[in-house]
Structure 1
Amino acid sequence: MDRVILHCDLNGFYASVESLSLDEETRKKPMVVGGDAKSRHGIVLAKNEAAKKYGIVTAETLYQARKKCPDLLVLPPHHALYAHYSKVVNAIYVRYSDYVEKFGIDESWIDITHSMHLFGGPEATAHAIRETVKKETGLTISVGVSFNKIFAKLGSDYRKPDAVTVIMREDVKRMVHPMPVSNLLFVGKATLRILEANGIYTIGDLAKKEEVFLSRLLGKQGSMLYRYARGLDEEPVKKYYEQEEAKTIGNSMTFAKSLVGKEEIKTGTLRLADVVAQRLREAKKRCYGVQIGIKDDDFVSISRQKKFKNSICSTKDIYQTAFALIAEAWEMSKPVRLLNVTAIHLCEENQEQEQMSFFESPLASEETKYEKADAVLDEIRRKYGEESVGFARLLDKNEKKKKDEL
């Protein structure tokens, strides 16, 4: 008997959450969630359906987005609010099955194989979940229904927003095989170029290839994509309450325009480090290390990390460590297409730490001062929004001359 797996995807999640506080008329306007609304160089993090019609895409600058739509409404992000709604929605999913596995903040797989009979079958269960989420939160989801996780995800992407798509074995050749191979999970730009160079443009093209050929072409990833394209993925959905606690907290950004030069890279690093540090503190965690990842326009990538004897959680410490790693490993004149900053080796904030006494460490009082300052910033952001207070370096250079305050 085949399994029945759902993939639930919250539609335009950030933008949809922000829309909950808007009146009906404003909700219809083109809107994005982005950085500083006054800045030309803030980044689009999410957009609503009206904004999509103007060709606005995630990760482009607000300046570019406004050129496409001069009347664009720009709202600041509220990450704590998104985390709250993510938990609320996943709590709804758990009513239908114990097997709920999060895939990012806005996506989850649900295995309803042994519970769907309680709700009327596969498609009826999917609709029940969709309607419950909409009724209780005001948010919409698209649901894919299939016999494995990979095809279920293809289903949730097939029709949006607020829809259910069923892809069973008899539907694969008709629905899945004509899809662009880029739709398949973990087929990025670099992999896509290799596949297309070998005449593989659709999932059907990929399914026709032998595993040996794909393994020679892509290594282990080739074998994985072979299984995915042929519907052979058997990875189970994890139980919601048995999933491992996050071992890292990170943030990454693919830039619409690559960063070039020390000042731009510093600004990008600070933006990411600030979010990572804030998430650390929200999770009541500290870290014993920082890791950075960089990818250039040719998809050449590097990764570096540094471990500490004492744990940290301040924006200043994470930023300075991250940029020092970048400066040591990267030529500043080379473009940075993607940048990642991750806090690694996490511990509870109240966990006993091996550290020198304050009498032995002249930096200890300084570190405490920065952590207290961060706590104040966190409180201000909780009350007045993510963009209510921040670092001068993140302001548009035409509004304020940049300074290396950190």
Structure 2
Amino acid sequence: MRHILHCDMNAFYASVEVQRHPELRGKPVAVCGSQEERHGIVLTANYVAKPRGVKTGMAVWQARQVCPDLVILPPDMAEYIRISRYAREIYEDYTDQVEPFGLDESWLDVTGSAGLYGSPMAIAQEISNRIKTELGITASIGIANNKVTAKLGSDYRKPDAITRIEADNYKEVVYPLPVEDLLYVGPATSRKLQAVGICTIGHLAECPVEFLERQLGKMGGILHMFANGRDVSPVQRSDHIPDIKSVGNSVTAPRDLVSEADVQLMLLLLAESVCTRMRELASRCTVVEISVRDTELHSYSRQKKLPRPSCSSQELAEVGMALFWRSYDWTRPVRSVGIRGAGLVEAAEQQLSLYADDQRRDKWEQIDRAVDWLRERYGYMSVRRAMVCMDPLLGRINPYDDHTVHPVGYFGG
């Protein structure tokens, strides 16, 4: 039998800030995005603020209403990444199978470690103690024989708890939990399940799989398997690098985008960062996808297949703008946009061509590579397109350095 741990550092951003600022202990603390740059939402709150109604995703003004003495701090991603790396070093003292799920969560396969370090419970307790003493924060840890159930265990009791869920107590612990606690049951799926009377994980586990597949398609069978505690997916080894199928970037603009020129500028800036990452991966994309969200948070995405693989920022921006022209009616201003290069192929697979469009693409890619070299040596702002100077507020955005690349999701391996 496998022994899988899921370690979740509690209220991670806020916990790191309180550890850095001991004078904040016992006070309600929230780490929030910048209100000036329109990211004014709660990213995380500590366990003093949460009982007073402060929730992740809440607007800052709402958080202040429910908790007037809330201490609000800006995020410091460099510090959170540093602490996350230290936590990973602790995990790797016990196993080389450590798979991150965001900065604050990781799965560990300790099946082969019991002979050296004791039972899974003993290993979990030792990891919990080390995170407290070495990092100054706490973690909740789930123990199970698979990844999905281990994550349920880490979510079951917080903060600073260890929960074992195995065959002898699975139904007792898991069946009463709300269905949205199961990994990959999001709000939309939860609404569909509740509409047919499935409100708990137990209901989902006992529902006929054929019925679930009629309601949810293939995902219905997957969720039925998860609800019954069955999951054979491995915990990836520390040196495992999954195949990357796409590279994307999106941004909430510092002001509403009210014209096509605004959108064009943002898509060009984002396309530059996406294409730089593709070149770092020695890849080109075969599909361009854009995502658009308006000021009332309605969103949509559109995509188009390219005639030839490309990592030209100019081409991606032009294709993205054409998709926008065809799809957006300007009923409301645009709040955020994103662009993604999907269907990645190796750059070496590109063949030379004598067609004018292909020659133009090759020249733009050569220019992009020269810009990459200059920015790497002299900084991002050392060379910029002239059009960004037309709008200093939008043009100051650095989507490459400011963009955090998160670990590959559950189905990405």
What TM-score do you get using the length of structure 1 for normalisation? Answer: 0.73
Deviation string for 1:88-144 (max 9, x for gaps)? 322321221122112222221111112123222011111111222232222322111
Which region of structure 1 is more displaced relative to structure 2, 32-41 or 294-303? 294-303
Which amino acid is 1:168 matched to? E
* Distance in 2 (alpha carbons) for counterparts of 1:276 and 1:159: 44
* Distance in 2 (alpha carbons) for counterparts of 1:38 and 1:224: 42
* Distance in 1 (alpha carbons) for counterparts of 2:376 and 2:37: 23
Conserved? CA contact 1:12–1:46, under 8 Å: yes
Please give the secondary structure, in 1, of the residue aligned with 2:163.
strand
2:102 corresponds in structure 1 to 104
1:386 corresponds in structure 2 to none
* Distance in 2 (alpha carbons) for counterparts of 1:361 and 1:107: 43
2:4 corresponds in structure 1 to 5
> Of the candidates 157, 160, 175, which is equivalent to residue 158 of structure 2?
160
1:19 corresponds in structure 2 to 18
| 1:153, distance to aligned residue in structure 2 (A) | 0.5
Which amino acid is 1:62 matched to? V
Conserved? CA contact 1:99–1:239, under 8 Å: yes
CA 1:326–1:96 in structure 2 vs 1: closer, same or farther (change >3 Å)?
farther
| 1:7, distance to aligned residue in structure 2 (A) | 0.8
What TM-score do you get using the length of structure 2 for normalisation? Answer: 0.72
* Distance in 2 (alpha carbons) for counterparts of 1:156 and 1:363: 46
Conserved? CA contact 2:248–2:274, under 8 Å: no
Which region of structure 1 is more displaced relative to structure 2, 183-192 or 35-44? 35-44
Alignment of 1:18-97 (within 5 A): 18-20=17-19, 22-36=20-34, 38=36, 42-97=40-95
Deviation string for 1:309-354 (max 9, x for gaps)? 66368xx9988875664444344437989965445577999xx999
2:385 corresponds in structure 1 to none
* Distance in 1 (alpha carbons) for counterparts of 2:375 and 2:315: 13
Which amino acid is 1:311 matched to? C
* Distance in 2 (alpha carbons) for counterparts of 1:279 and 1:95: 37
Deviation string for 1:231-264 (max 9, x for gaps)? 12222212221232645444568x9xxx997479
Conserved? CA contact 1:260–1:334, under 8 Å: no
* Distance in 1 (alpha carbons) for counterparts of 2:178 and 2:56: 20
CA 1:172–1:347 in structure 2 vs 1: closer, same or farther (change >3 Å)?
same
Conserved? CA contact 1:40–1:63, under 8 Å: no
* Distance in 2 (alpha carbons) for counterparts of 1:275 and 1:31: 36
Conserved? CA contact 2:290–2:339, under 8 Å: yes
Conserved? CA contact 2:309–2:345, under 8 Å: no
Please give the secondary structure, in 2, of the residue aligned with 1:116.
helix
CA 1:260–1:74 in structure 2 vs 1: closer, same or farther (change >3 Å)?
same
Which amino acid is 1:12 matched to? A
CA 1:286–1:185 in structure 2 vs 1: closer, same or farther (change >3 Å)?
same
1:187 aligns with 2:188: no
Conserved? CA contact 1:270–1:319, under 8 Å: no
* Distance in 2 (alpha carbons) for counterparts of 1:279 and 1:50: 43
Which region of structure 1 is more displaced relative to structure 2, 72-81 or 234-243? 72-81
Alignment of 1:176-215 (within 5 A): 176-215=174-213
Deviation string for 1:40-98 (max 9, x for gaps)? 76233222223323322223332333333344333222333333333332232122112
Which region of structure 1 is more displaced relative to structure 2, 230-239 or 141-150? 230-239
Conserved? CA contact 1:14–1:46, under 8 Å: yes
Please give the secondary structure, in 2, of the residue aligned with 1:74.
strand
1:399 corresponds in structure 2 to none
Which region of structure 1 is more displaced relative to structure 2, 209-218 or 45-54? 45-54
2:111 corresponds in structure 1 to 113
1:127 aligns with 2:128: no
Mark the runs of 5 or more structure 1 residues left unpaired by the alignment: 381-389, 396-406
1:392 corresponds in structure 2 to 393
Mark the runs of 5 or more structure 2 residues left unpaired by the alignment: 383-390, 397-413
| 1:292, distance to aligned residue in structure 2 (A) | 2.9
CA 1:391–1:59 in structure 2 vs 1: closer, same or farther (change >3 Å)?
farther
* Distance in 2 (alpha carbons) for counterparts of 1:120 and 1:48: 32
* Distance in 2 (alpha carbons) for counterparts of 1:367 and 1:145: 47
1:173 aligns with 2:174: no
Which amino acid is 1:211 matched to? V
| 1:285, distance to aligned residue in structure 2 (A) | 5.8
> Of the candidates 307, 326, 329, which is equivalent to residue 327 of structure 2?
329
Which region of structure 1 is more displaced relative to structure 2, 155-164 or 49-58? 49-58
Please give the secondary structure, in 1, of the residue aligned with 2:52.
coil
Work out the number of aligned pairs and report it: 377
CA 1:343–1:391 in structure 2 vs 1: closer, same or farther (change >3 Å)?
farther
Please give the secondary structure, in 1, of the residue aligned with 2:48.
helix
CA 1:357–1:206 in structure 2 vs 1: closer, same or farther (change >3 Å)?
closer
1:302 corresponds in structure 2 to 301
Q: Percent identity?
A: 37
* Distance in 2 (alpha carbons) for counterparts of 1:108 and 1:324: 40
Conserved? CA contact 2:32–2:74, under 8 Å: yes
Please give the secondary structure, in 1, of the residue aligned with 2:122.
helix
CA 1:320–1:285 in structure 2 vs 1: closer, same or farther (change >3 Å)?
farther
* Distance in 1 (alpha carbons) for counterparts of 2:240 and 2:37: 43
Please give the secondary structure, in 2, of the residue aligned with 1:150.
helix
* Distance in 2 (alpha carbons) for counterparts of 1:18 and 1:275: 34
Please give the secondary structure, in 1, of the residue aligned with 2:49.
helix
Which amino acid is 1:33 matched to? V
